[in-house]
Structure 1
Amino acid sequence: MLPLYLLLACLALYYIFKSNTPHGLKKLPTPPGHFFHVGREPHKKFTEWARSLGDIYGVHMGQQYWIILTGDKVVGELLQKRGGKYSSRITSYYTYDLLTRGKSYFGCPYNERYRMLTPIMHGALGQRSVKENSKLLDNEFRILMQNLCNASTNAKDGVYPKNWFQLTSLNIITILCLNKRTETVDDPFFTEFKTVMEEHMDLVKITNRLSEFFPIMKLIPNTSLRNKIIANRTKVEAFLGKLIKEVENDKEKKPCIIRNFLHKKDEGILDELDIIYLVDAFFAAGTDTIASSLTWLSATLANNPEVQSKAHQELDRVIGQSRLPEVSDEQNLPYIRAIIKEGQRYCAPIYLGVPHGIEEDDEYNGYHIPANSVVVLNQYGIHMDEKRYENPKEFKPERFLGVTESSAALANRNSENRDHFGFGAGRRLCTGIHMAERELFLGVSHLLWCFRIENASPLGEDGKPIPIDLNKVRLGISVWPEDYRVKFIIRHDNVEKLLFGLSQI
């Protein structure tokens, strides 16, 4: 019997040379590699291939055919202008049917169920919700500054702020969903949330999904993996089910997102599992991406003190030192806005996003786009394109100083004029984009108003801290920088007075 790796290699070659290209159309360019050549950093390999093959090419991932988009023009043409064709998902046995019982919102094909759920999600996270919850957001970011101040004061060697950013984003979601918040990163609820959700996201890694690419693998039962998936699914449903029950048992009937979902259940629109996995979508997307963005930016700013200095000057000139920044200040803080946009480009929390799918044949520039292809938006590749961004490996907020519109507004216009692609594209654009932009503005403006972020790494031969290595990452659906150490140094006396109410200013 052939060894497993030889069997898979033979299958890969079969799918590569199998051709169904219609007469008169060309097959998409193909790289000199396939599934086994992608490696542990697919964003880098996909970008390397794009530099020689162009902005659109196809790669055989076993039985699946992946189309990689690495240019703003082709993204706009396919994902935006032809969004009706390119807004589905290619579902799989392990990732959606088993892990979420086929109830995943993000993995839902572009069908009637998705079109029914989307207005519900937009109603919970849209512009109106952002406006109605502005005080909540202000309060949570003020508490975040308190936590960072205390944590940095008590840690001589600096802190890795990831947990505090996660706590803040979790509190925003739990307050919106069920009027619940958690005080510290040591709270059992926060610990349970992190354990369950990190395991949940880890199980959808490509290494756990070989049967998607090689269906014959379904004939070789992976009992251990299947048991892990079912065990995690049970944990997720128990964890979220407990929160839903808290809302059901709330005698005061306080309004919240879960209560709105329960009303939809009473109307026969949603069932219990629908509610669980809609809440799962809130927790997965609403906590990771914002927390990851702020974790990346803290390291990036520590490596770029000159950027901080310019931001401090702008904040002192526009805000002064007697109050914290407010949402109404955003239009008067172009450099802060530019830092946020550059952060979403330079160190985005998503490299490839959740792949789109096309269920019918299509044609682009004479190329055949086969039905049932997986379509990948290579955000990393676009963000590191020298033709689009001069010196892309430099953190340079100045490149966005002339951009006055929000990312949400730009995402629905000409793709070639977009600031970045961190929120995806087309009809699968991030549902919570308005909430995310508000959180990023409050997080970054508060951080820089309150603190100077110093690199706390060991000193190098030149007597200066060794720059934080931003190439060391933890890859998953969202991307995190490896553990680093920074200090949050209070900028002026009024910081503690405003954060802790020590006295009137």
Structure 2
Amino acid sequence: MGQQYWIILTSDKVAAELLQKRGGKYSSRMPNYYFYQVLSRSKGFIGCSYNERYRKLTPIMHGILGQRNVKEKSDLIDLEYRILMQNLYQASININDGFYPKKYLQLAALNIITLICVARRIENIEDSSFKYFENFQKSHLEFVKVTNRLGDFFPILKWFSGNKFYNKVIEHRNTLESFYGSFVKEVKDDKEKKPCAIRDLLNKVDEGILDELDIVHMTDNIFSAGTDTISASLTWIVAALANNPQVQSKAHEELDRVVGQSRLPTISDEPNIPYIRAIIKEGQRYCGPTHLGIPHYIEEDDEYNGYHIPANSAVVLNIYGIHMDEKRYENPKEFKPERFLGITERSAILANGNYENRDHFSFGAGRRLCTGIHLAELELLLGVSRLLWSFKIENASPLGKDGKPIPINLDKARLGITVWPEEYHVKLVKRHDNVEKILFDISQ
């Protein structure tokens, strides 16, 4: 592509051999001009090269999104996913002909990150803060698309002072830094000194480890990676469940048997609801939130299995390609949670083990594995289990010639760094008489 070699890994074995076993060589990031040097000022974490700075930032990010901190935040995550079910319940009453649940799922994911980073939340999807973030995130992801970074492939383009896109990047960077900078200021001005991630990062400034611009761009990374991926995953899973009522029936039976109808599912139920766990794993495989991983980068020549891999090449994990590999997953175009029954380990554990035992590759591979994997798994558990505990999901598409709703077309997707299904409509029908009482009982 221009002056760069792009190597696409569509084999689980090759991905493991290169990204895991040779992680020391394949864990850097592309030094792309617009995203890393201009847009992020080399201050972020996701685009950081595999160097001393990366090794300095890694424990800091794990401190925010690692398993211990996620466990400490489990109560606020639990509450937010109760509120999500309340919002979906109200929407199901107010919108009789079905609705697209995307924004409600986005709000829940956004609130988790906002609570973790700034110790506050956004009330509803009509809130101006939610709408501003939604629009900002769209424009932000647009800037880092490959098609908008031609200067990375044809370096001569970056030297044209009249480059309109370059000027737009600078303008967007200023907006980004102002947007997340306001979060930093909000935390600094908070007289209550509520505990949050940005406050912890500000302590690193006092210790001389970070500066405030580091915090701004690290906060951007946390918001960018921790909001759309989760809400897109749940948006896909809702559609897949609407198309597969037989899967819902099995899930409903398990939830009624294990949890009952007098309380919501909780984190402690996880070991006892294997079919729900299987639905989540299959959702991540069948219709995950990304088709391609963020490109890795190799800075020195390498040889693998008779192939020469040139230095300064992008190495991309083809997540969708591996997930649709018939040798790895029988009938991969089927939504079949049963393929994961018997797998008791979480994805976070499997991702660091033998590639043959992995459930899916949605969280990436190697040393750049998604830092927020523990948070994502907890959100998916609460989101899917509570959705199915509360509702039967019905397809609200127009009727076909057979008199049944036309299946939601999950082969159609809005492509980008995060992949979304085309807009669809579902009806959420409460499953039993206790749903309203349990969802809105503040004593629970």
- The one-letter code matched in structure 1 to 2:311 is A
Do the aligned residues in 2 keep the contact of 1:197 with 1:236 (CA within 8 Å)?
A: no
1:320-399 counterparts in 2 under 5 A?
320-399=260-339
Matched, 1:283 2:258: no
User: What residue number does 1:270 align with?
Assistant: 210
Q: Which amino acid aligns with 2:305?
A: N
Query: Cα RMSD (Å) of the superposition?
Result: 1.3
CA distance, structure 1, for counterparts of residue 161 and residue 346 of structure 2: 48
| Partners of 1:336 and 1:279 in 2: CA distance | 32
Match of 1:148 among 88, 94, 118: 88
The answer for the alignment partner of 2:426 in structure 1 is 486
Distance, in Å, in 2 between the alignment partners of 1:196 and 1:273 is 19
Deviation for aligned residue 1:152: 1.6
Question: In the alignment, what sits opposite 2:247?
Answer: 307
Output the amino acid matched with 1:465.
Answer: P
1:230 to 167, 170, 194: 170
**Contact 1:497/1:503 (<8 A) preserved:** no
* Residues 212-223 of structure 1 mapped to structure 2, 5 A cutoff: 212-220=152-160, 223=163
2: CA distance, partners of 1:497 / 1:141:
16
1:449-492: CA deviation from partner (whole Å, max 9, x where unpaired): 00001111111111111111112211111100111101111000
Change beyond 3 A, Cα 1:263–1:390: same
Query: 1:451 matched to which residue of 2?
Result: 391
Q: Structure 2 CA distance, aligned partners of 1:212 and 1:227?
A: 16
Alignment partners' CA distance in 2, 1:336 and 1:323: 16
In structure 2, what is the Cα distance between the partners aligned to 1:221 and 1:204? Answer: 20
Change over 3 Å in CA distance of 1:222–1:492 after alignment to 2: farther
1:475 aligns with 2:415: yes
Q: Which digits, 9 at most, give the CA deviation of each residue in 1:87-107, with x for residues without a partner?
A: 001121112211111222111
Q: Distance in 2 between matches of 1:215 and 1:260?
A: 39
Which structure is larger by alpha-carbon Rg, 1 or 2? 1
**Which residue pairs with 1:180 in the alignment?**
120
Helix, strand or coil at the partner of 1:236: helix
Q: Which amino acid aligns with 2:366?
A: G
**Other-structure match for 1:415:** 355
| 2:272 alignment partner AA | N
User: Residue by residue, what CA displacement relative to the aligned partner does 1:122-174 show, whole Å, maximum 9, x if unpaired?
Assistant: 01111111111111111000000000011121112211111111100111011
Is residue 2:107 matched to residue 1:167? yes
Say which SS state the counterpart of residue 137 (structure 1) adopts: helix
| SS state at 1:68 partner | strand
Displacement of 1:216 in angstroms is 2.9
Q: CA deviation at 1:360?
A: 0.9
In 1, Cα distance between equivalents of 2:203 and 2:171:
29
> How many percent identity over aligned positions?
69
Partners of 2:73 and 2:278 in 1: CA distance = 24
**Contact 1:292–1:478 (CA<8 Å) still a contact in 2?**
yes
Contact persistence 1:177–1:256 (CA under 8 A): yes
Q: Does 1:250 align with 2:190?
A: yes
Which of the numbers 14, 26, 29 marks the counterpart of 1:89? 29
Following TM superposition, by how much is the alpha carbon of 1:370 offset from its aligned partner in structure 2, in angstroms? 1.1
CA apart distance, 1:195? 1.2
Q: Identify the range of structure 1 (151-160 vs 170-179) with the bigger mean alpha-carbon deviation.
A: 151-160
Deviations 1:11-67 (A, max 9, x none): xxxxxxxxxxxxxxxxxxxxxxxxxxxxxxxxxxxxxxxxxxxxxxxxxx1211011
**Partner-residue secondary structure (3-state), 1:385:** coil
Aligned-residue offset at 1:225: 1.5
TM-score (ref. length: structure 2): 0.98
**CA distance in 2 between partners of 1:455 and 1:221 (Å):** 52
Contact kept, 8 Å, 2:39 with 2:173, in 1: the verdict is yes
5+ residue gaps in structure 1?
1-60
Whether the 8 Å contact between 1:196 and 1:232 is mirrored in structure 2 is no
SS of residue in 1 equivalent to 2:308: strand
Which of the numbers 103, 106, 125 marks the counterpart of 2:46?
106
Out of 192, 195, 218, the position equivalent to 2:135 is 195
User: What secondary structure is seen at the aligned counterpart in 2 of 1:246?
Assistant: helix
Residues 503, 139 of structure 1: alpha-carbon distance in 2 compared, 3 angstrom cutoff:
closer
* CA distance in structure 1 between the partners assigned to 2:438 and 2:302 by the alignment: 58
1:23-102 aligned at under 5 Å gives the runs 61-102=1-42
Q: Answer yes or no: is the 8 Å Cα contact 2:157–2:163 preserved in 1.
A: no
Which gives a bigger RCO, structure 1 or 2 (Cα 8 Å, sep 6+)?
2
* 1:438 corresponds to which of 345, 359, 378: 378
Is this contact kept in 2: 1:105–1:114, CA < 8 A?
Answer: yes
Distance change (3 Å), C-alpha of 1:219 and 1:125: closer
Aligned equivalents of 1:222 and 1:470: distance in 2? 42
Deviation at 1:221, TM superposition (A): 5.2
SS of the equivalent of 2:407 reads coil
The aligned counterpart of 1:26 is: none
Match of 1:296 among 226, 236, 240: 236
Kept in 1: contact 2:158–2:166 (CA 8 A): no
Structure 2 unmatched ranges of 5 or more:
none
TM-score between the two structures when normalised by the length of structure 1? 0.86
Matching residue of 1:496: 436
Q: Aligned AA for 1:344?
A: Q
Out of 429, 436, 441, the position equivalent to 2:369 is: 429
Residue 325 of structure 1 deviates from its aligned partner by 0.4
Q: CA deviation at 1:502?
A: 9.0
Counterpart residue identity of residue 273, structure 2: L
Cα distance change on mapping 1:145 and 1:317 into 2, 3 Å: same
Tell me how far 1:209 sits from its aligned partner.
Answer: 1.1
> In 2 relative to 1, CA 370–257 (structure 1 residues): closer, same or farther, beyond 3 Å?
same
Q: 2:63 aligns with which of 111, 123, 130?
A: 123
- In the TM superposition, residue 503 of structure 1 has moved relative to its aligned partner by 10
Structure 2 counterpart of 1:33 = none
